[in-house]
């Protein structure tokens, strides 16, 4: 890398680190650094480029799906459907090794399939399970650690908000990205469950037996409480995979279905609806500020030639494809300690994707790999969103929760390794979709 380009890179990344460390909102930090880079290191008008970059970042129709999926998740939480989900699963799980700790995994898996958000999945399930686990005397470290890990499934199991962002930026099919996330999501959930069952067999005291017993009639009757969640999954994902709706149309269908179930559940009033809308606006605004800020910073770095120089420098190292993925994995783990998942995706994709595709990897596969890396960032301090959510629910220090989540950090890395060695896990369903 040339000396002048190296100097510019150090200044740009140094400014980015300082603004993020100062506590300025991530989206505004990206705008500030982009403006500084374009003003001092190019002759282009920063203001005009900022305006055109913002428009170019948000004018895609696919982004309409984001607020709709967020609103669907808000309605599900406010309507009490998630509480019924918990009660329906208790009779099926309470006798297994690890007992109701498996509830975190199963509940997060099911709720992830209708919420699209990691933080929303963690918060919704955690509000129900953590207090119940404390009351039953369950191992506190494993109850919080499993929730932190399982909550990340909200990004991997479709419909996922971050998958939509990746698909738009990488110019791949949103539907195929959704399909690609199903088997890796189930694999990760299965690995989490196997770990909890192993811990339960090794030390039954982590999940004290309850005095209650349930008959098969209780189990079958409880299934009716699973119906709203399963029907929403079928409505949203079935309409996409069946070719009846685009992801945006499926999101609108999901909102409609969630509203109907909330009304049937007698949990929808004007006040609750306004709270749902307010929560959806806040979350979507946060995401889109990051997207447009990162879009402007990416344009600035592109004009300065930083991504091309970094790509060229890594290419000159003559790394094998697997060594390249190991290097990128290390970079993403470090970034995950500093940035949220959405920022990681939109900031690094212009640099990483050309290298990965040149190394022979499929862009849809890389999207799943990247989302797994983003999931890791959700439970790494100091900027781990799931850790913040659990801290808000329990009052425990961040570092203690991060320590509880450490086994699930390694289980995510194991899943990423398996996915790298066997990419067909992610690509099988998209290829099957393409042949129909």
Res 398 pLDDT > 90: no
Q: What is the pLDDT of residue 391?
A: 83
Identify the residue whose tokens are 């409505």: 235
Band (pLDDT 50/70/90 cuts) for residue 382 is low
User: What is the mean predicted confidence (pLDDT) over 67-96?
Assistant: 77
Let me know if 22 is exposed, middle or buried by CB neighbors in 10 A (0-12, 13-18, 19+). Answer: exposed
Q: What is the pLDDT of residue 365?
A: 96
Question: Which of 241, 232, 223, 226 shows the shortest CA–CA distance to 182?
Answer: 241
Res 211 pLDDT > 70: no
Band (pLDDT 50/70/90 cuts) for residue 408 is very high
Q: What is the pLDDT of residue 407?
A: 94
User: What is the mean predicted confidence (pLDDT) over 220-231?
Assistant: 78
Domain boundaries, the chain: 1-60+284-303
Distance of CA 404 to the CA centre of its chain: 20
- Separation CA 381–CA 403 (nearest Å): 10
User: What is the mean predicted confidence (pLDDT) over 206-221?
Assistant: 73
**Residue 11 backbone dihedrals phi, psi, to 5 degrees:** -65, -45
Band (pLDDT 50/70/90 cuts) for residue 212 is low
Q: How many CB atoms are located within 10 Å of the residue 9 CB?
A: 18
Range scoring the smallest mean pLDDT among 23-32, 151-160, 173-182, 275-284: 23-32
User: What is the mean predicted confidence (pLDDT) over 375-385?
Assistant: 77
pLDDT tens digit sequence for 232-288:
888 888 887 777 888 788 888 888 988 988 888 787 888 888 988 988 888 778 778
Phi-psi region of 245 (alpha: psi -120 to 50; beta: other; left: phi over 0): beta
Q: What is the pLDDT of residue 191?
A: 96
Question: Which of 10, 2, 31 shows the shortest CA–CA distance to 19?
Answer: 31
Res 1 pLDDT > 60: no
- Separation CA 431–CA 416 (nearest Å): 20
Identify the residue whose tokens are 């992610």: 426
pTM over 0.85? The answer is no
Q: For 208-257, what is the HEC assignment?
A: CCCCCCCCHHHHHHHHHHCHHHHHHHHHHHHHHHCCCCCHHHHHHHHHHH
Q: How many CB atoms are located within 10 Å of the residue 202 CB?
A: 9
- Separation CA 241–CA 238 (nearest Å): 5
- Separation CA 32–CA 34 (nearest Å): 5
User: What secondary structure letter does DSSP report for 206?
Assistant: G
DSSP string, 388-408: HHHHHHH---HHHHHHHHHHH
What b/e readout covers 247-272, taking b as 16+ CB neighbours within 10 angstroms?
A: bbebbbbbbebbbebbeeeeebeeee
42 or 260, greater pLDDT: 260
Q: How many CB atoms are located within 10 Å of the residue 350 CB?
A: 21
pLDDT tens digit sequence for 294-343:
778 878 877 887 777 776 777 778 888 899 999 888 888 887 776 777 77
Band (pLDDT 50/70/90 cuts) for residue 417 is very high
pLDDT tens digit sequence for 121-163:
787 788 778 877 888 788 888 999 999 999 888 889 888 888 9
Band (pLDDT 50/70/90 cuts) for residue 89 is confident
Largest interatomic CA distance in the chain: 75
> For a pLDDT cut of 90, what percent of the chain falls above it?
18
């Amino acid at each position: 890398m040339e000396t002048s380009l190296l100097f510019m890179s150090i200044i740009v990344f140094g400014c980015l680190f300082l603004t993020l460390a100062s506590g300025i909102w991530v989206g505004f930090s990206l705008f500030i650094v982009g403006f500084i880079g374009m003003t001092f290191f190019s002759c282009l008008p920063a203001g005009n480029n900022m305006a055109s970059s913002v428009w170019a970042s948000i004018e895609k129709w696919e982004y309409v799906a984001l607020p709709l999926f967020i609103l669907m998740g808000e309605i599900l939480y406010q309507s009490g459907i998630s509480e019924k989900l918990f009660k329906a699963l208790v009779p099926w799980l309470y006798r297994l090794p690890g007992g109701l700790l498996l509830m975190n995994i199963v509940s997060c898996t099911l709720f992830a399939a209708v919420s699209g958000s990691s933080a929303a999945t963690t918060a919704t399930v955690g509000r129900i399970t953590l207090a119940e686990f404390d009351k039953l005397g369950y191992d506190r470290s494993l109850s919080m650690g499993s929730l932190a890990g399982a909550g990340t499934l909200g990004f991997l199991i479709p419909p996922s908000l971050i998958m939509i962002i990746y698909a738009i930026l990488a110019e791949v099919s949103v539907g195929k990205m959704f399909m690609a996330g199903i088997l890796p999501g189930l694999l990760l959930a299965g690995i989490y469950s196997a770990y909890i069952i192993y811990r339960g067999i090794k030390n039954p005291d982590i999940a004290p037996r309850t005095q209650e017993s349930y008959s098969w009639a209780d189990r079958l009757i409880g299934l009716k409480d699973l119906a709203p969640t399963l029907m929403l999954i079928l409505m949203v994902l079935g309409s996409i995979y069946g070719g009846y709706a685009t992801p945006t149309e499926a999101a609108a269908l999901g909102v409609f279905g969630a509203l109907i179930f909330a009304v049937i559940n007698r949990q929808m009033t004007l006040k609750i609806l306004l709270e749902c809308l307010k929560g959806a606006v806040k979350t979507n605004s946060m995401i889109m500020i990051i997207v447009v800020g990162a879009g402007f910073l990416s344009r600035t770095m592109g004009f300065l030639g930083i991504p091309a120089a970094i790509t060229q420098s890594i290419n000159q190292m003559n790394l094998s494809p697997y060594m390249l993925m190991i290097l990128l994995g290390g970079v993403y783990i470090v970034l995950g300690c500093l940035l949220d998942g959405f920022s990681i995706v939109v900031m690094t994709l212009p640099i990483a994707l050309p290298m990965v595709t040149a190394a022979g990897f499929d862009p849809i596969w890389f999207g799943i790999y990247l989302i797994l890396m983003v999931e890791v960032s959700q439970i790494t301090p100091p900027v781990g969103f799931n850790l913040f959510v659990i801290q808000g629910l329990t009052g425990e220090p961040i570092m203690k929760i991060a320590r509880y989540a450490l086994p699930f950090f390694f289980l995510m890395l194991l899943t990423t390794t398996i996915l790298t060695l066997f990419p067909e896990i992610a690509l099988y369903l998209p290829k099957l979709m393409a042949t129909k």
